């Protein structure tokens, strides 16, 4: 018996049998200033290896903010920025747009232009998220670096991207303490080659006594904002294959690969998956418990929920500070309807049992998703049965930095499948793949091997920044 419903099967079939027509329809999820000349071009021996929506013009930040305001949703909450100290800032779509326009003008005022790379070494706070959107708005390419990486990792990424500026916060909140970050940036700038590349260091300062970070290149956050007063904060029309951002793969065992995601194919993909997998709707309050330093933070703290017109929560700090009740209380206090978390977070909650969850009302929550590693059956069973009493689904899925969004999952937004603990689900619409052995030979059904994607889809990175030969190998 086929457990996959007919609606899902038909969408899968169309995505593989009629890909150009299918993805042309999906492109209506984002606004276009100019329609594309061709949906897809595949040139495996060139870099980029493929292109989507060739000749089309759009802008990722415009699609997230201006389009929502233009559609009459300016008064809806866009971003709730929280921290472990109880801080809370709420911005409507109109308010967030104004802040992003202000930062866009400031970026231009300090010399950042279309195509320039901007490194962002900041925690998951409002300033960092607005800065990401402002970079995309003017056509600059942001490179967010996880705020916790050391000087060597920062320098390596800055040099590979040839970042013109670094934006940083001098500390982050962690378990009731301000954890300094300034020495990491200072150390990165002392690394051979990095100081020659970086022209400007903008510092969001929280500690009154933190030392200078960037020497005579440093400017304060307030001076950065003041520089743009009365300036040009308008959006820039970008060709669909122009880079919106670059992000290093999350692996830690080798030299980082800077994946490129674009203004056209990437938002079409993550908006489609926001619908088909997560079922994110404008009335949702969505919380991805990740960090903006990872692709989950990019796609489903920042861009995906905003493309859907939903309210997104960003949290800075430890999810279990001062205790694990913080995690559950955020759901209750903000009426969270959809959550994206990780197996690591679930296992952290397991240590404290069910009592912290029993003390709050989480009836607003409709579905929970997990990714980052396999959601092992004991953790799934505890969350599904003990915490949520089988009232809502807890769904695993799989993707990575290179894919931009989910590729294997349970299509909750189309037609939910029966849950199999330990399984990430099925290939999602647009994913054509096979299973190979270590020699590249295709395996038969029920044989264990390596999942390989055999055809590009709009969210797949088509090149690595600065290293075309590495992509081909």
- Chain segment 41-87, per-residue pLDDT in tens: 999 888 999 999 999 999 999 999 999 999 999 999 999 999 999 99
Contact 31, 62 (CB under 8 A): yes
- Is the pTM of the predicted complex or chain greater than 0.85? yes
Q: What pLDDT does 468 receive?
A: 86
Distance of CA 28 to the CA centre of its chain: 21
pLDDT category of residue 3 using cuts at 50, 70 and 90: confident
Please report, rounded to a whole number, the percentage of residues in the chain having pLDDT higher than 90.
Answer: 94
Topology at the third CATH level for domain 6-472: Rossmann fold (3.40.50)
Q: What pLDDT does 447 receive?
A: 93
Q: What is the pLDDT of residues 73-126, one digit of tens each?
A: 999 999 999 999 999 999 999 999 999 999 999 999 999 999 999 999 999 999
Q: What is the pLDDT of residues 206-265, one digit of tens each?
A: 998 889 999 999 999 999 999 999 999 999 999 999 999 999 996 655 788 999 999 999
Q: What pLDDT does 460 receive?
A: 98
> What would the two tokens of residue 376 be?
């092992």
Q: What pLDDT does 442 receive?
A: 96
pLDDT category of residue 1 using cuts at 50, 70 and 90: low
**Higher pLDDT residue, 355 or 255?**
355
For the chain, the domains span 6-472
> What would the two tokens of residue 43 be?
């040139």
Residue with token string 């990491």: 184
Provide mean pLDDT across the span 339-349: 98
* Residue 447 CB contacts under 8 Å (≥ 6 apart), including other chains: 435, 437
Burial of 451 (C-beta count, 10 Å sphere; 0-12/13-18/19+): middle
Element containing residue 68 per DSSP (H, E): helix 66-68
Provide mean pLDDT across the span 303-308: 99
For all residues of the chain together, what is the average pLDDT? Answer: 97
Provide mean pLDDT across the span 294-310: 99
Please report, rounded to a whole number, the percentage of residues in the chain having pLDDT higher than 70.
Answer: 99
Q: What pLDDT does 45 receive?
A: 86
CA distance 259 to 401: 7
Burial of 350 (C-beta count, 10 Å sphere; 0-12/13-18/19+): middle
């Amino acid at each position: 018996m086929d457990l996959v419903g007919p609606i899902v099967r038909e969408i899968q079939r169309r995505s593989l049998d009629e890909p150009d027509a299918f993805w042309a329809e999906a492109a209506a999820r984002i606004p276009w200033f100019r329609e594309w000349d061709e949906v897809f071009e595949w040139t495996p021996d060139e870099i980029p290896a493929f292109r989507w929506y060739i000749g089309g013009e759009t802008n990722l930040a415009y699609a997230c903010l201006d389009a929502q305001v233009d559609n009459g949703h300016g008064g809806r909450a866009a971003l709730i920025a929280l921290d472990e100290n109880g801080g809370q800032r709420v911005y409507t779509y109109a308010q967030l747009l104004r802040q992003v326009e202000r930062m866009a003008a400031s970026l231009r005022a300090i010399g950042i232009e279309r195509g320039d790379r901007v490194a962002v070494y900041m925690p998951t706070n409002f300033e960092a998220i607005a800065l990401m959107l402002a970079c995309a708005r003017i056509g600059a390419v942001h490179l967010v670096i996880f705020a916790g990486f050391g000087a060597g990792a920062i320098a390596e990424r800055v040099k590979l991207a040839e970042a013109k500026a670094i934006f940083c916060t001098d500390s982050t909140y962690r378990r009731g303490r301000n954890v300094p970050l300034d020495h990491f940036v200072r150390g990165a700038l002392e690394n051979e080659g990095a100081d020659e590349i970086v022209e400007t260091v903008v510092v969001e300062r929280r500690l009154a006594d933190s030392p200078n970070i960037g020497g005579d290149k440093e400017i304060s956050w307030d001076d950065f904002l003041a520089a743009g007063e009365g300036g040009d904060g308008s959006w820039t029309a970008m060709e669909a294959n122009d880079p919106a951002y670059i992000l290093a793969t999350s692996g830690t065992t080798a030299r980082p690969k800077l994946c490129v995601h674009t203004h056209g194919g990437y938002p079409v993909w993550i908006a489609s998956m926001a619908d088909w997998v997560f079922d994110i709707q404008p009335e949702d309050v969505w919380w991805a418990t990740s960090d903006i330093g990872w692709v989950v933070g990019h796609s489903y703290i920042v861009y995906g929920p905003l493309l859907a017109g939903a309210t997104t929560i960003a949290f800075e700090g430890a999810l279990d500070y001062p205790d694990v009740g913080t995690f559950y209380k955020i759901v209750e206090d903000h009426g969270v309807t959809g959550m994206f978390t990780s197996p690591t977070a679930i296992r952290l909650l397991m240590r404290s049992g069910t009592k912290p969850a029993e003390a709050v009302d989480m009836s607003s929550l409709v579905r929970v998703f997990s990714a980052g590693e396999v959601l092992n059956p004991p953790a799934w069973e505890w969350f599904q049965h003990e915490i949520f009493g089988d009232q809502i689904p807890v769904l695993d899925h799989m993707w990575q930095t290179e894919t931009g969004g989910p590729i294997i999952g349970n299509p909750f937004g189309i037609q939910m499948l029966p849950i199999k603990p330990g399984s990430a689900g099925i290939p999602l619409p647009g994913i054509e793949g096979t299973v190979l052995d270590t020699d590249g030979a295709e395996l038969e059904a029920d044989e264990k091997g390596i999942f390989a994607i055999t055809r590009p889809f709009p969210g797949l990175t088509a090149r690595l920044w600065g290293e075309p030969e590495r992509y081909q190998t």
